[in-house]
Amino acid sequence: MSGTLYIVSTPIGNYGDITLRALNILKIVDEVICEEFKEGRRLLKQYEIDKPLRRLSEHNEKKDSPQIIKELKEGKNFALITDCGTPVFADTGNYLIKEAISSKIKLVPVPGASSIMTALVVAGIPIDKFIYYGFLSPKSDIRKKELLSIKREFPVILMDTPYRLFTLLKDIMDILGRETYVILCMDLTTDTEEI
Residue 93 pLDDT level (bands cut at 50, 70, 90): very high
For 7, counting Cβ atoms within 10 Å of its Cβ (0-12 exposed, 13-18 middle, 19+ buried), the class is buried
The pLDDT of residue 39 is 95
The pLDDT of residue 54 is 98
Query: CB-hemisphere CA count at 13 Å for 2?
Result: 15
Range of 15-29, 87-101, 181-195 with top mean pLDDT: 15-29
The pLDDT of residue 179 is 86
> Distances in Å between the alpha carbon of 129 and those of 11, 76, 120, 187?
25, 40, 11, 24
Residue 37 pLDDT level (bands cut at 50, 70, 90): very high
| E-only strand ranges, the chain | 4-8, 31-34, 53-55, 78-80, 106-110, 131-135, 156-159
Per-residue pLDDT tens over the stretch 109-156: 999 999 999 999 999 988 898 888 888 999 999 999 999 888 877 888
Per-residue pLDDT tens over the stretch 155-165: 888 988 889 99
- pLDDT of residue 70 exceeding 80, the answer is yes
The Cα–Cα gap between 46 and 136 comes to 33
**Which is more confidently placed, 161 or 79?**
79
Share of the chain above pLDDT 70, in %: 100
Domains along the chain?
Answer: 4-110 (3.40.1010.10), 115-176 (3.30.950.10)
